[in-house]
Amino acid sequence: MASAVAWESSSVDITADAALQAADAQEFLKEVLAAGPIPQKEVKDAADGHGLAWRTVQRAKARLGVGATKDGMDGGWSWSLPKDANDAEERHPSRMATFG
């Protein structure tokens, strides 16, 4: 088996560290939200505990299609994985390029 490199047609505008953090944030959200919706504050606290920047987590939320619902007029927000995603593969956007 031989190694190969597939070059993008456009330049990369993200550092390797940022790309790895983005991938880590997506995996983090899949794991945290796997059991069902949880309050956004708990997601943020867990992200802080994992050393993930909140903005990175928010971008991962958008890439995965994570939903946010308001818990009543006085409640906070809860995050959940897309309802139509039956497994981890279906939760990953199919049109996203590497390092999206």
Which pLDDT does position 86 carry in this prediction? 45
Cβ within 8 Å of residue 65, ≥6 positions away: 81, 82, 85, 91, 93
**Ramachandran sector of residue 97 (left: φ over 0; alpha: ψ -120 to 50; beta: rest):** beta
CATH class of domain segment(s) 16-91: mainly alpha
Q: Where are the domains of the chain?
A: 16-91
pTM above 0.75, yes or no: no
* Residues 4-21, mean pLDDT to the nearest whole number: 79
Which pLDDT does position 90 carry in this prediction? 47
What is the distance between the alpha carbons of residues 18 and 15, in angstroms, rounded to a whole number?
5
29-84 per-position pLDDT tens digit: 999 999 999 999 999 999 999 999 999 999 999 999 999 999 888 889 999 999 76
Which pLDDT does position 21 carry in this prediction? 80
Which pLDDT does position 45 carry in this prediction? 97
